[in-house]
Amino acid sequence: MRIIACLFFNLLLQGLLAQAPPNILWIVCEDISPTLSFYGDSTAQTPVLNALARESMVYENAFATVGVCAPSRSSIITGMYPTSIGTMHMRTGKDITSWGKRKYKDRNGITDIIGDSIREYSVVLPEEVKCFPEYLRAAGYYCTNNNKTDYQFAAPLTAWDENNAQAHWRNRPDGKPFFSVFNINVTHESRLWKNKDLPLTVAPENVPVPPYLPDNVVTRKDIARHYSNVELMDAEVGKILEELKEDGLLDKTVIFFYSDHGGPLPRQKREAYDSGLKVPFLVRAPERQEWGRTDRLISFVDLGPTVLSLAGITPPEYMEGKAFLGEHASSPRTYVFASSDRFDEYTDRTRIIRDDRWLYVRNFFPDLRKYKDLGYRKNIPMMKELLDLKDRGLLNPVQSQWFGSKNKEELYDCIRDPHNIHNLADDPDFQTDLQRMKSLFWRQMSESPDLGQVPEATLIDMMWPNGQQPITESPEVLIESDKILLTTPTSGASIAYRWSDDPNEPMDFDKHWQLYTHPISIRADQYLYVVAERIGYHLSSVLVKKMEE
């Protein structure tokens, strides 16, 4: 019945959007699982999201492709699995956030013999792969991102009309539909310690403690901090929706709300379990009414194709994601796929298949421990206490699992065992389910490349020959009659341009650059600035040309 409700929702949504291109708004928070009241957890008071959920389709089975931000966001912006395009390692370079040089650990914990570190790098994508907002811009949309990217490559100029902390639909030209993204970071893992001096609005004695964490004062305080951060996030969502109401756009805009992956606590973020991958997900149509719930499976690779479909654009064939709404909606998925590779200074390789009940985990290095001793995560106050209890042998068997060895295969019944604690892979009563999930796993492996099989140092050499980032070749300008034609010799590159009165204008790439899609008209006595860029390549040199009468 819930799938039927989703199909009805899509049919009605198509009818509502048939007359004009819809505005589309994404409100994206960070690091939360479906621990909200409309998923059954009323610990945090979230009146704004509760009201939004009553007017939305609530998706009960939405999943990130990786349990951490950068690889996950790379799949969102491209419609591709991180393992297919080489963005699966967390994190790759200065284009995102500088982490300095990270030691590369092989599966035995020894520094890789290829080199003593993994250099910072921007991932070079296959030449056909674009950031999906580029297709929206080509169709006439004004696209804004405020303001996190974290794609594992520098966001190209052609992806967004605005990509900064001031980016807003309010800056668009009159009459243009918009696609606007707002990223709220107050629930990020780091706020467990950065917000330590803020008052708790959720009492520690009232929070639920997952069975894989020890129930003590330190744990409860950290969990209370997270729920308090969720309440702060709810208020931020309210501010964005209020601006939409002020502009008279609430009922003219499709609204998405979701988190970029699962929760921030130990044994949540980065993990290939529901605790790291399952997220809250809402879609509100441009008319207020109660829509209900669906258990349809959603993967983050589906988000880009879905937005294109809502805008009436056929998603490119290369995209691995499938639209779940709009004119080009596909039939429901039977499973989602996710991955786990290097996280900061520790490497590994795990793949998962999840259907509407079962979670299958394939560990390629079963001799490694589940727990990775990441320096960044040790900033969470409870981690010191957790490690101390582990060293003293005071964790119970469930809490100790995270610090134990891995099995080659894991199988969990996510309905009876939502915390993914009881591995049924060796249970003779569940071998039929195991074999079915393994069959889905090998099907996925045969349909998509897995660049995680390539050592990261080798992968970098493939992307950056001789250790040098490839450079996009300079664009070329051809004038025919009163039109300007722009081309680039670099296969897969896109072109951006802007006009100016100044022949020596400083190169401010935060300014608005237009996407070149077709010949443009000459502007007499103006200077045309042109750049080309293939994703992962260095930006080309800037060509400046004065237009004559």
Contact predicate 308/132, CB 8 Å: yes
Which secondary structure element, helix H or strand E, spans residue 231, and what is its range?
A: helix 217-246
Q: What are the structure tokens assigned to 198, written together? A: 């803020």
Contact predicate 473/530, CB 8 Å: no
Q: What are the structure tokens assigned to 154, written together? A: 């520098």
Strands (E) located in 403-459:
409-413
Cβ atoms within 10 Å of 547's Cβ, excluding its own: 16
Task: Give me the phi and psi of 81, to 5 degrees please.
Answer: -70, 140
Structure-token match 């897969």, residue found? 492
DSSP string, 171-191: GSPTT--EEEEEEE-TTSTTH
Cβ atoms within 10 Å of 469's Cβ, excluding its own: 14
User: Which residue in 29, 69, 131, 143 is the catalytic one?
Assistant: 69
Task: Give me the phi and psi of 528, to 5 degrees please.
Answer: -100, 120
Q: Any catalytic annotation for residue 414?
A: no
Letter string b/e over residues 285-309, b meaning 16 or more CB atoms within 10 A of that residue's CB: bbeeeebebbbbbbbbbbbbbbbbb
Q: Which residues pair with 351 in a beta bridge?
A: 339, 362
Of the candidates 253, 250, 258, the residue with the CA atom closest to the CA atom of residue 233: 258
The residues, any chain, with a CB within 8 Å of residue 443's CB and separated by 6 or more, are none
The CA-atom distances, in angstroms, between 93 and each of 131, 204, 460 are 18, 37, 12
Active site residues: 69
